[in-house]
Amino acid sequence: MQELFTVNNLWMMMATILVFIMHLGFASLEAGLTRSKNTVNILFKNTIIPGIGILTYAFVGFNLMYPGGDYAGAFFGFAGFGLPLPEGWDTSNYNEGYTFFTDFIFQAMFAATAATIVSGAVAERVKLGPFITFSILYVAICYPIVGMWKWGGGFLNTLETPFYDFAGSTIVHSVGGWGALIGAYLLGPRIGKYTENGMKAIPGHNIPLAVIGVFLLWFGWFGFNGGSVLSASPGLVSKVFVTTSIAASAGAFGALIISYLKFKTYDITMVLNGILAGLVGITAGADQMGVGESAIIGFIGGGLVVFGVVFFDKIKIDDPVGAISVHLVGGIWGTLAVGLFGDLAGMSQVISQLTGVASVGVFCVGFAWVIFFTMKKTIGIRVDEKEETEGLDINEHAMRAYPDFATKD
């Protein structure tokens, strides 16, 4: 029994490390898909976000998300500030699978992901101070409240047919996606993005770095989904690894085929985001799907990314890295797919999934709007035209990412 506990706990800690590496993936992807003059700013945001996530989750978020007590079926619960230490630092009796601190640190790694998603969508024109303020409030309050609705025993978990989200297509990815949508909308597009002559592409400066970022994210996703098994169960962990990889692979082909049919070119950025959309899509039901179903979910997710990018450009919501299409559109699709495919498929499950998507969307949109709109009308959320044109690196950080190379952007 002690040996099994040790193995489970060790796997959960390894999964935590894999999820942590995803922050490097996000940093690399966002930096690669944006212009060189904003690289330091992108890296700074993605460096500070894990710190925000861990600290806020320790002092507020964990007890908002898992209040315990008599909060079953509730919309809100709070067990107090800080981390309670059950019977001191030795928490091996916390549950049969892993210690209290392993539980906390694994969940803390998830918390920062929501703000990381927002970072890419508002890149190249957001003020750093307001972005950090938003991230603190969003990660400390919005994310854990939504997480409590399902994972903490809240109302979504007590529906007649419980809402299902295995590892967070809605609870993590769409939370970030809704925040990204509101932030990008209230900021407005980058200078020169939409002109009288139509939409102008603003290419990223380092595609190799973006590719590295996606592979780091795929690598980390084995911990993101595999760790969500919450044990080292050989059968279930290996199944989740397979369904995760199948969906990512199918997402690449979904984006490849749809983007080629639409643009008559092999667009690497679409394929990269197609992989991520496949991963986001399978996250809600990675433990419930078979190989064929995972492929369908991933393929459709990859295709939806292409349509999503085109749609948001048509309505002039500027998302430099495609984060809204990947995490919001992909997250909604993956959540609904749980009711359409796999072991839980059925109309009652579809209704529960729609309920979860809608309730999370309304709350996150309202929360993000209040924060961003309030700051927009007071301290401002966008850098001025001169700073945006010269680049955020030199104006917000007084340095350049590539000081020995001349830049033309």
Which pLDDT belongs to residue 86?
66
Which pLDDT belongs to residue 87?
66
**Domain limits, the chain:** 2-396
Whether 325 shows a pLDDT value over 80: the answer reads yes
pLDDT tens readout for residues 258-299: 999 999 999 999 999 999 999 999 999 999 999 999 999 999
pLDDT tier for residue 406 given thresholds of 50, 70 and 90 = low
The b/e string for 86-116 (b: 16+ C-beta within 10 A; e otherwise) is eeeeebeebeebbbbbbbbbbbbbbbbbbbb
The CA distance from 366 to 368, in Å, is 6
pTM of the entire structure? 0.95
C-alpha distances out from residue 381 to 6, 124, 145, 160, 408, Å: 47, 12, 25, 42, 26
pLDDT tier for residue 392 given thresholds of 50, 70 and 90 = very high
Mean pLDDT along residues 60-69: 92
Whether 167 shows a pLDDT value over 60: the answer reads yes
Whether 131 shows a pLDDT value over 80: the answer reads yes
Mean pLDDT along residues 219-247: 96
Whether 384 shows a pLDDT value over 70: the answer reads yes
DSSP output for 41-82: HHHHHHHHHHHHHHHHIIIIIHHHH---TT-TT-S-----SS
The CA distance from 282 to 330, in Å, is 9
Which pLDDT belongs to residue 92?
80
Q: Dig out the tokens for 193 from the structure.
A: 């993005």
Which pLDDT belongs to residue 133?
97
Mean pLDDT along residues 104-117: 90
Whether 409 shows a pLDDT value over 60: the answer reads no
Closest CA to 18 of 143, 85, 109, 90: 109
Which pLDDT belongs to residue 31?
97
Whether 180 shows a pLDDT value over 60: the answer reads yes
Architecture of domain 2-396: Orthogonal Bundle (1.10)
DSSP output for 320-342: TT-HIIIIIIHHHHHHHHHHHSS
pLDDT tier for residue 112 given thresholds of 50, 70 and 90 = confident
Burial zone of 363 (CB within 10 Å; 0-12 exposed, 13-18 middle, 19+ buried): middle
**From the CB of residue 167, how many other CB atoms can be counted at a distance below 10 Å?**
24
Average pLDDT, the chain: 94
pLDDT tens readout for residues 304-324: 999 999 999 999 999 999 999
Mean pLDDT along residues 139-145: 96
Closest CA to 120 of 214, 240, 258: 214
pLDDT tier for residue 73 given thresholds of 50, 70 and 90 = confident
Lowest mean pLDDT among 83-97, 165-179, 366-380: 83-97
Percentage of the chain surpassing pLDDT 70? 98
The CA distance from 128 to 277, in Å, is 27
Strands 198-199 and 194-195: antiparallel
Whether 198 shows a pLDDT value over 80: the answer reads yes
The CA distance from 278 to 57, in Å, is 28
pLDDT tens readout for residues 76-94: 999 889 887 766 777 888 8
